[in-house]
Amino acid sequence: MKRGIVETTVNIDVQDICYLKESICTFQSQPYKVIVEVMKQHELIKIGHQLVRLVSTRVGYGKRYWFECPACCGRTKKLYIAASCYMWKCRKCHNLTYVKSNLSGNEFRYVDYQIQVLQKELQVTKENSYPLLGFNVMIERVPIFKPRYMRQTKFDDKKLILELMICRRVELWMRSIRF
């Protein structure tokens, strides 16, 4: 059975819920903008049509809140709702995995993933970038301008790392074709 991916699964974070002022609230969950209605009553939370228990533990600075997974009764910071099952459960109960953990053992795919993450951070598009090696493919594009929110030194560092990763990708590709 193919495992689902955490980054693309709709989730709800306990931080979004435990500090609600109203007893009934509607908010958007991540990573997709899904409207979820939440009703909070003491230690029980109704998310949609499902009741979930909110538990707390004492820490040095007060309390930390957790969801109690309805399936395994374990504590978790986030609950997920997968497309195959319409229940809010923890990551382990839904058998979800992270993208990065699926890339181990395949250096080429890992480098591609790292390039895509850097390009996303640097907000690379075809309009604001140029091809590093002359090929007009998106995976090798390097930004011309820094994003508005980023400091120049951080931009320069990330751009250098991106250029090195693209060169590493070409090196891996050249090694794989073996002339």
CA pair distance 87, 80, nearest whole angstrom: 8
Name every residue whose Cβ is closer than 8 Å to that of residue 30 and which is 6 or more positions away in sequence: 10, 11, 13
pLDDT in tens, 36-92: 666 666 677 777 778 888 888 899 988 888 999 999 999 999 998 887 778 889 999
pLDDT in tens, 122-163: 888 877 777 776 665 677 788 888 888 899 999 999 999 998
